[in-house]
Structure 1
């Protein structure tokens, strides 16, 4: 508590102390031939100051407080310019932009912003922009990011997935949207991320423990989703994205508009997606001992639809800004009818095969509403930031009533829920972050802050797996950065976390017999008791960065912490989607991780090579361990799994190399490898569940010269090779290796002062039948999607306001 109070005091002092002193920042933007570039976007952060250069290429910022800033300059067809400025008096710049040459680094899409972030972070980080997302558009956001080193996804059909970083997923990866941690029902293997992949302008992936800044669940890494920055003054614009996919007959559109006068600005986006059952390269699926035939190679009842709305609006002036974000993401998607509840013989195939676009039982509906406020105040050498958020995640799973065990054969009419309502979860989340950054000197910078979150999750329906619960977490941190020399810096920080979780007792809604001696009594069995547990931990992180010329080196060591969630502590029911009966352990300890990350890179204009190894040790890793029993009371003979903890060692890393073979021809390779071993428990010597196999991605890209009617054309080939995954934790199945071939092409078509962007992908060109070891459907032998042609058309528009 003393640490928390001290950090609060530091944040308040840094916010309130000293008067405000401001300066002007001006300059001229020119092209490679020293001609002025009018209409160039100039953004200065923090503070999100934005302007557009005039007809003479000149820009001007007024009333900017003293401090360290990053200036970013962007103009269509030119490389983005980024630099760090120490503003202590009026400053004038002359900036020259270079024509964009489509460098090979687009294998992971980099620019000056990414290089700046990498120099600042001692953890390994990947940064992608909206251009990367359009050229690698997948069925979900995480499928679009799978091309990044160390990133994979746990897929649920063609439209949903959850992130995994270096083999760690679920509640070990934090997803941040506009500064607030995204909270849904992410603990479930069948629960995807309820986010709109069209809504983000830039995404940062931090690989490794980032608990210091982002809280306890960031033990494996962070996916930081960022919307478009504050629009430049006196602008009105937007874009329309049109998307089509052949595999599941998807048709989608996402329309975006933004505007700003002087101090006030707004953005608005609407997204509509509709897709049919997706196709796999096989005409049947072997579900354990039963072969289910597929009509036209489609997984029946995997169709879905998505309807999303986003709005933001705010105010910015003289170092003070505030912005509200409001979003509503609504999805409806079917579950593969032949697998839900493991009753493939009872499926009405005639009903499902009549149409590929309808959504029959079983299906899920999810609505995620979110409102966030981000405010910032810049005063002299200090910055104060505050983020407040509210979220409501409402999820329903529906299926026809089927009695198991002692459930009545006919559903009672007096129940408070419908017979078709299998499960319902309603989670309300309140979040708050306070952070203050202060500049002690030209070499020393510090940050202190606090995070807090309250969750209340209520349940309903005829099925049970986790009880209702309330959870509160709070953390305080302090972080320092010291510039040792022009090329190197040290970083270090500490954090204290506290958390409490309380679960509500749960009893069956139907009676079961309880035999005591010779007596049999019918009663409502208790499935979950009341729990009240608290956790706390002190964690730390220390890092070093060295950047000189073409060489960079970074290293980070740290301790991370994660408190067990309600499912790990109190689960006691059938997971119909994972085909298991799961039981929690109320005595589990909080998870602790020690990790060492290293990154080395040599980067020139023609050649780059980098390696990012890591070591990871868990004294008590929590995971779902298969037992020998089978449940026949609540399900259909599902194997019983127990949440347990084990000592675990992990290591691995990524290697990437890129080469400009010729001016218009580039090639690159990305390698991923992870090794895990349990050092204690009854699975000693085994790996961890859902461990991705070693893989390699070979990339070729050809960029012809620009034509009058065609700019930035490209043709690319990706060849992915995945090794067999023979190291498993039963009942996982060994997964054979595979190879896939993907094609990509695209270009910008000039149109007035804008450019229409076209991107075309052919995923799984050879329609290869293969299995992804981390896929949700792998347990029941469902292969990955077949050939898929994806077309995305991006139509921008903009104008200047008087």
Structure 2
């Protein structure tokens, strides 16, 4: 470990000595052929692997360590990429004009020049989407909107709750970042969705594969990085009104955004409200183990909900300094499917529940997630210093009518200072800080370093128990270097050290239970959780190579990553009502370690593109829930007991995509994904992992642009997804049949006077197909996915210049 610390000291000394080197400034302005400035254009020099984006006035400033002749590439959405060879001898100024494209090639991902550059520079496989992609693919949640990306799926439970899955890994193995701060809620639960407003997302980057090097624990499977609105251009005021409606659950919603910037000061405000009813499935009954529950009008009773979000940001921007504050609150309230909560389908009062499809009755959940984030950037003389500081609070409450199990009293005692209807409560505070630096004055070499720290404190309440109170702290340091071998190839390497600790408190039942010992019965308050203090350390590393030449792009990355066990895996001891199981943690679990090789190859020329991104992955000690032959009779109705355990796991798979622009208006695409997992040790040796996604392929056809009367940029598209049967299961899982689902999309920009209006229409599951999603927890009780759903979104932007 001393060698590792010495590495930091030596690198710091190197930074200090390098600061004194001479540098040259390459600057200018980027405009179009009409001399309109292009803010946000990418100016990039491959030889030194360095670039910048133009500011709000289209200006750029780039520090060059050594004079010479360089190839400069400039790109911007909707314009031809500019490439030229420029001699930089001193402080060189060079203005650049870009030529508009008649039409840009669209891949399966809505793609702009930033996305193309990002994918070519990163040795891991990255997908980048913008807000237009999100609007055209709006699902019930952010996770569902990202399902169209190769390798990305979701675990769904209900109409408004879902969790992202990357290459078959989810929960705490996929890290979600919002505005550079790790999003922390109660993401360990199957019914605990992401408290993120998808209308507030301006751009989303999805990193597929282990990203612990830059992000730390929980990024062992990948990262979903959500970026909010960009900084407005100077002296402007504007915003956008979004309207949305869905037919399946009669959702109605609106999101309104207003921004203003006066010289160096700016502010941005967004409010979102949504209200929806019970959602429909293409069946009139479901089989909950041995009980058949009828559904009124195909509705999943008590799955209605509502959402109310507020986002506000403000800040200061200068040429070499900017700071921005983000303040947000996301509130959701939604019902649990009444027939399955606690496995008591026969006790449901269908007359009360079926009166209205929009009421939220017991049982239900409410979640309030608040954030305060500051992001500050300072640049000088080839150095970039970035700090992110965040405070979050996640307050989650689950309520249901009190029902006695085991030794619980028949009636809830009035003497207890507790709400009898409060089944569970989780109150988590999170404090985060990131400090990142980059240095680019050395020819061909770019250096990055950073420190991440986080502290969590989670307290529990309510009459039910599954995890105890706990607190957690973690800290990590990383070093990454990117070296440009030539104009075509780059090498990147990095190392990271992490240390963290988790402390759980002991917990006793609030009611006494009868215990028999040596023929004598006594009344005792049973202990459900012990006090645990665990410390984890780890060194992660990564080595990657990228090769880009004309139409060909190749990449590879090999590395080690890790994940700390969470409180549930260490100390759970209770009923998971939504997975229909009794779960027991294991206090001596080791940290998960993953070794993975990622590769990628893409050929993209003119109107044709094809790519493949395979991976190979080995876990020496993968953590998962192992079913036993025991059943709980003390706290529920005979739920099967699952124990957290570890085993060696081997995984491989990948994604592919093919795109062909047949004619300028017609585009064809194919996207496929495959994941295979096998346990190499433990009780389930030879089996796969629970909830493994089956192979699938998406065939797409898109016709655009179509111009008629007042409509511009109109498009029509069709997605046909084929999913294979999942026969590779872990007992007691059931096999899942394959299925095919059709989706239709259409949209256009309408010009009404000086006002532009964008309208998008999508129809999901057009044929109202009855099918089961193997990764959904509703699959356990044979609930099919939602039926036909027509989604209408209307976007009305507005803006004006101030004097």
TM-score range, shorter chain: over 0.9
Cα 1:80–1:285, aligned 2, differ >3 Å: closer, same or farther? farther
Deviation of the 1:103 alpha carbon: 2.6
Distance in 1 separating the partners of 2:116 and 2:549: 13
Distance in 1 separating the partners of 2:743 and 2:309: 29
TM (norm. structure 1) is 0.94
Summarize the alignment of residues 386-785 of structure 1 with structure 2, pairs less than 5 Å apart. Answer: 386-752=387-753, 755-785=756-786
Query: What does residue 179 of structure 1 align with?
Result: 180
Any conservation in 2 of the 1:200–1:228 contact (CA below 8 Å)?
Answer: yes
Distance in 1 separating the partners of 2:605 and 2:35: 28
Query: What does residue 333 of structure 1 align with?
Result: 334
Cα 1:97–1:309, aligned 2, differ >3 Å: closer, same or farther? farther
Cα 1:177–1:167, aligned 2, differ >3 Å: closer, same or farther? same
Distance in 1 separating the partners of 2:366 and 2:145: 23
Query: What does residue 36 of structure 2 align with?
Result: 38
Distance in 2 separating the partners of 1:234 and 1:545: 41
* Residue 26 in structure 1 maps to residue 34 in structure 2: no
Give CA-to-partner distance per residue, 1:141-177, whole Å, 9 cap, x none: 0100000000000012111111100000000000000
Cα 1:458–1:115, aligned 2, differ >3 Å: closer, same or farther? same
Deviation of the 1:751 alpha carbon: 4.0
Distance in 1 separating the partners of 2:436 and 2:80: 29
Query: What does residue 50 of structure 1 align with?
Result: 55
* Residue 144 in structure 1 maps to residue 149 in structure 2: no
Query: What does residue 197 of structure 1 align with?
Result: 198
Query: What does residue 123 of structure 2 align with?
Result: 122
Report the secondary structure of 2:353's partner residue. Answer: helix
Distance in 2 separating the partners of 1:20 and 1:357: 67
Cα 1:556–1:687, aligned 2, differ >3 Å: closer, same or farther? same
Paired positions, count: 788
Cα 1:237–1:401, aligned 2, differ >3 Å: closer, same or farther? same
- More moved, 701-710 vs 357-366: 701-710
Give CA-to-partner distance per residue, 1:356-389, whole Å, 9 cap, x none: 0000000000000011111111010111111111
Report the secondary structure of 2:245's partner residue. Answer: strand
Distance in 1 separating the partners of 2:80 and 2:365: 43
Any conservation in 2 of the 1:67–1:86 contact (CA below 8 Å)?
Answer: no
Query: What does residue 306 of structure 1 align with?
Result: 307
TM (norm. structure 2) is 0.94
Any conservation in 1 of the 2:241–2:796 contact (CA below 8 Å)?
Answer: yes
Any conservation in 2 of the 1:43–1:51 contact (CA below 8 Å)?
Answer: no
Give CA-to-partner distance per residue, 1:238-260, whole Å, 9 cap, x none: 11110000000000001111121
Any conservation in 2 of the 1:15–1:436 contact (CA below 8 Å)?
Answer: no
Distance in 1 separating the partners of 2:713 and 2:798: 19
Summarize the alignment of residues 130-169 of structure 1 with structure 2, pairs less than 5 Å apart. Answer: 130-169=131-170
Distance in 1 separating the partners of 2:15 and 2:140: 45
Report the secondary structure of 1:99's partner residue. Answer: coil
Distance in 2 separating the partners of 1:153 and 1:192: 11
Any conservation in 2 of the 1:42–1:71 contact (CA below 8 Å)?
Answer: no
Cα 1:762–1:523, aligned 2, differ >3 Å: closer, same or farther? same
Cα 1:10–1:738, aligned 2, differ >3 Å: closer, same or farther? same
Report the secondary structure of 1:340's partner residue. Answer: coil
Any conservation in 2 of the 1:73–1:80 contact (CA below 8 Å)?
Answer: yes
Report the secondary structure of 2:588's partner residue. Answer: coil
Summarize the alignment of residues 255-404 of structure 1 with structure 2, pairs less than 5 Å apart. Answer: 255-404=256-405
Report the secondary structure of 1:213's partner residue. Answer: helix
Deviation of the 1:234 alpha carbon: 1.4
Deviation of the 1:12 alpha carbon: 10
Deviation of the 1:440 alpha carbon: 4.6
Deviation of the 1:705 alpha carbon: 3.6
Deviation of the 1:800 alpha carbon: 1.3
Distance in 1 separating the partners of 2:508 and 2:72: 57
Deviation of the 1:99 alpha carbon: 3.2
Distance in 2 separating the partners of 1:79 and 1:398: 54
Deviation of the 1:439 alpha carbon: 1.7
* Residue 92 in structure 1 maps to residue 91 in structure 2: no
Query: What does residue 55 of structure 1 align with?
Result: none
Distance in 2 separating the partners of 1:318 and 1:522: 71
Cα 1:744–1:210, aligned 2, differ >3 Å: closer, same or farther? same
Distance in 2 separating the partners of 1:86 and 1:593: 46
Distance in 2 separating the partners of 1:696 and 1:44: 33
Report the secondary structure of 2:568's partner residue. Answer: helix
Deviation of the 1:92 alpha carbon: 2.4
Distance in 1 separating the partners of 2:516 and 2:83: 75
Cα 1:22–1:567, aligned 2, differ >3 Å: closer, same or farther? same
What is the RMSD of the two structures over their aligned residues, measured on CA atoms?
2.4
Deviation of the 1:595 alpha carbon: 0.2
Cα 1:204–1:528, aligned 2, differ >3 Å: closer, same or farther? same
Deviation of the 1:22 alpha carbon: 9.2
Query: What does residue 789 of structure 2 align with?
Result: 788
Any conservation in 2 of the 1:277–1:298 contact (CA below 8 Å)?
Answer: yes
Give CA-to-partner distance per residue, 1:122-141, whole Å, 9 cap, x none: 00000000110111110000
